[in-house]
């Protein structure tokens, strides 16, 4: 019997960077933030999206599921290696800490690693979306971003051309 192997077609490759900016509002003033993502689409994502597309469940349940799926897809796609990673934290021991690259760094430099602008795209996005209560973004912007990221992940448009 021959064993068949199924592997990702993109094995060993990294998706092309997808760079975008998002305008957030802070007290009526526009604030632009730039991010890098590497959108992908896994089977779990497709499985989560299909009931929404098929219109299964109540409208409220569909909206709640759509928000959950979009949030997960965007977070996972955002680059976590273009700055201080999302879940990185430092403990100072004997005046030094271990930086994101694994080097022992003097504690006086710690604020530079924790600064907002030093964060990875994922770390900055999560901070803005969850921790900054003074900032907002329109739902339409997120939906448009999601559409563009899905197109990039599939390497094709999400809508058909008009005849």
24 is a domain residue: yes
Label residue 63 by pLDDT band (50, 70, 90).
confident
In this predicted structure, the answer to whether residue 105 has a pLDDT above a threshold of 60 is yes
Comparing CA positions, the residue from 66, 43, 42 lying closest to residue 54 is 66
140 is a domain residue: yes
Tokens of 34: 């730039």
In this predicted structure, the answer to whether residue 75 has a pLDDT above a threshold of 80 is yes
5 is a domain residue: no
Name which residue leads in pLDDT, 6 or 133.
133
* Contact (Cβ atoms closer than 8 angstroms) between residue 16 and residue 152: yes
In this predicted structure, the answer to whether residue 157 has a pLDDT above a threshold of 60 is no
55 is a domain residue: yes
Max Cα distance, the chain (Å): 69
pTM for the model stands at 0.78
128 is a domain residue: no
49 is a domain residue: yes
In this predicted structure, the answer to whether residue 61 has a pLDDT above a threshold of 90 is no
Any idea how long the chain is?
A: 163
pLDDT at 102: 92
Number of structural domains (the chain) is 1
Tokens of 88: 């990185």
State the residue range of the domain holding 147. Answer: 18-81+135-154
């Amino acid at each position: 019997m021959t064993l068949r192997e199924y592997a990702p077609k993109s094995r060993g490759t990294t998706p092309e960077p997808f760079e975008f900016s998002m305008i957030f509002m802070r007290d009526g003033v526009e604030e632009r933030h730039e991010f890098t993502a590497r959108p992908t689409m896994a089977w779990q994502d497709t499985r989560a999206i299909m009931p929404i597309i098929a219109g299964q469940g109540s409208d409220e349940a569909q909206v709640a599921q759509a928000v959950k799926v979009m949030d997960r897809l965007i977070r996972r796609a955002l680059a976590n290696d273009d700055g201080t990673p999302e879940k990185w934290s430092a403990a100072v021991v004997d005046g030094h800490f271990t930086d994101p690259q694994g080097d022992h760094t003097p504690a006086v430099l710690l604020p530079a690693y924790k600064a907002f602008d030093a964060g990875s795209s994922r770390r900055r996005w999560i901070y803005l979306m969850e921790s900054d209560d003074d900032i907002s973004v329109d739902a339409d912007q997120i939906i448009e971003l999601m559409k563009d990221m899905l197109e990039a992940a599939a390497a094709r448009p999400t809508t058909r051309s008009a005849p």
